[in-house]
Amino acid sequence: MYQNQTYDTYTVKRVHIQPTEKIVKTVTNTDQQLTTVLFVDARISSPALDWRALLEQAHHCGGDMRVTIRGVTYTVAAADGLRDDTDRLHHWEISMY
């Protein structure tokens, strides 16, 4: 018997959205054109989430991580944590299509 999928929902405040046209390889080794990058600041955005761990958990369960912004739903392709010059997390760049 299969269980129904469950989803956790978070509302993240103080983020920046930027359009992009970058092409990346997906988990299945196909080309995918990104449409949006979500920037999440490690200090001022809230709540603080480990975006990479959430994405890995979604893939481990056979699903996708999705982000909805102003009624438009995107699929997350990558979650990259960028560090500052003191090696602390500065911000996340969430690549989406």
Give residue-wise pLDDT tens across range 35-74: 999 999 999 999 999 999 999 999 888 888 999 999 999 9
Instruction: Please state the domain extents for the chain.
Output: 15-96
Tell me the average pLDDT across 86-91. Answer: 96
Read off the pLDDT of residues 8-27 as tens digits, 9 standing for 90 and up.
889 999 999 999 999 988 77
β partners of residue 74:
67
Predicted local distance difference test score (pLDDT) of residue 59: 87
10 with 47: CB under 8 angstroms? yes
- Residue 30's pLDDT is what? 86
- Rounded to an integer, the average pLDDT of 72-85 is 95
* Position 5 pLDDT exceeds 80: no
Radius of gyration of the chain (CA): 14
Q: What is the pTM of this model?
A: 0.84
Task: Output the pLDDT for position 14.
Answer: 96
Burial classification of residue 40, based on how many CB atoms lie within 10 Å of its CB (0-12 exposed, 13-18 middle, 19 or more buried): buried
